[in-house]
Amino acid sequence: MNMSSRKRIVAANWKMNLTVGESELLATEMRSVLTTMPRHCEVVLAPSFPALERLVKAVAGLDSVQIAAQDCAPAIRGAHTGEVSSLVLSELGVQKVIIGHSERRINNKEDHLTLKKKVDVALETGLDIIFCCGETTQQRKEGIHMQIIEQQLKDSLLHLTDTQLASVAIAYEPVWAIGTGLTPTSEQIEEMHGYLRALLNRTSAKVGPTLSLLYGGSCNASNAASIFALENVDGGLIGGASLKADEFMRILNSLPQ
């Protein structure tokens, strides 16, 4: 079990599954339980952009709850039609942004340099980051999953100073586990999280040991307790199972006390 002072974080990535009204309703349903969350656990809700402002209001006054955007532009201002600046997200009261999710890496062709720029502007505008990394089925079959994850971090994240890095949580999300009902074995999760922890410790002996490492990919109320109990797992990034208040609450209750 995680005996350190690392923050436990459980984040709900609602993707493009809910309308604004549905997002607000879900946050309101969760509110009564979220009021009782212990302070050392942070709960993050990530609705789609148009719902952010209402969600910030819906969780107002709940110290352990933060609202995250699912993405931000790689620049702060300028001629970027259709993009959303992290400056605007900050202005709305959003505290975090998810960067590097595999759905964006794959569907939106986001490369390492774009992700690096997003990381930099997010931090510059005062947002904390949940940075996602993960290998495909093919990469795991080839046995190069460790190198892939290391490269994803080195290319877009590990240039940060200690102070900047302290605002980042990392989510390991194997692409083959997202939305598939497949989860890695505990050994596979712990192997990767241990590897990530060692990489972060090498990067910064001061900040590396304090960063939260989340697991994501078909994490649900049935498997969350065993995943969260692993030594280098500090919480989760939850997609499908975060769309129902009762299941998400059961996941939160699976965090070790």
The residues that are catalytic are 101, 173
Q: How far is the CB of 242 from ligand PGA (least distance, A)?
A: 7
Q: How far is the CB of 131 from ligand PGA (least distance, A)?
A: 12
Kindly tell me which of 51 and 238 has the beta carbon lying closer to ligand PGA. 238
Q: What share of the chain is helix, strand, coil (3-state, %, to 5)?
A: 45, 15, 40
3-state secondary structure 76-129: CCCCCCCCCCHHHHHHCCCCEEEECCHHHHHHCCCCHHHHHHHHHHHHHCCCEE
Cα–Cα distance measured from residue 192 to residue 170, given in angstroms and rounded to the nearest whole number: 12
Q: Please report whether residue 179 would count as binding ligand PGA according to CB under 6 A.
A: yes
Among 110, 128, 135, 173, binds ligand PGA (CB under 6 A): 173
Kindly tell me which of 65 and 243 has the beta carbon lying closer to ligand PGA. 243
Q: Please report whether residue 218 would count as binding ligand PGA according to CB under 6 A.
A: yes
Q: Please report whether residue 137 would count as binding ligand PGA according to CB under 6 A.
A: no
Kindly tell me which of 160 and 241 has the beta carbon lying closer to ligand PGA. 241
Q: How far is the CB of 98 from ligand PGA (least distance, A)?
A: 8
Kindly tell me which of 153 and 243 has the beta carbon lying closer to ligand PGA. 243
Among 203, 216, 248, 255, binds ligand PGA (CB under 6 A): 216
Q: Please report whether residue 239 would count as binding ligand PGA according to CB under 6 A.
A: yes
Q: CA torsion angle for 113, 118, 124, 130 (degrees, to 10)? A: -120
Of residues 114 through 133, those in contact with ligand PGA by CB under 6 A are none
Q: Please report whether residue 217 would count as binding ligand PGA according to CB under 6 A.
A: yes
Backbone angles phi, psi at 38, to 5 degrees: -65, 150
Which of 56-64, 136-144, 151-159, 234-242 is the region at the interface with ligand PGA (rule: CB under 6 A)?
A: 234-242
Q: Please report whether residue 219 would count as binding ligand PGA according to CB under 6 A.
A: yes
Cα–Cα distance measured from residue 102 to residue 54, given in angstroms and rounded to the nearest whole number: 27
Which long-range CB contacts under 8 A does 238-245 form with residues at least 24 apart?
Answer: 238/10, 238/11, 238/12, 238/13, 239/13, 239/15, 239/178, 239/179, 240/179, 242/12, 242/13, 242/14, 243/14, 243/17, 243/18, 243/26, 245/26, 245/29, 245/30, 245/33
Q: How far is the CB of 15 from ligand PGA (least distance, A)?
A: 7
Q: Please report whether residue 238 would count as binding ligand PGA according to CB under 6 A.
A: yes
Q: Please report whether residue 13 would count as binding ligand PGA according to CB under 6 A.
A: yes
Residue 216, classified by CB atoms within 10 Å of its CB into exposed (0-12), middle (13-18) or buried (19+), is buried
Interface residue list for ligand PGA (CB under 6 A): 13, 173, 178-179, 216-219, 237-241
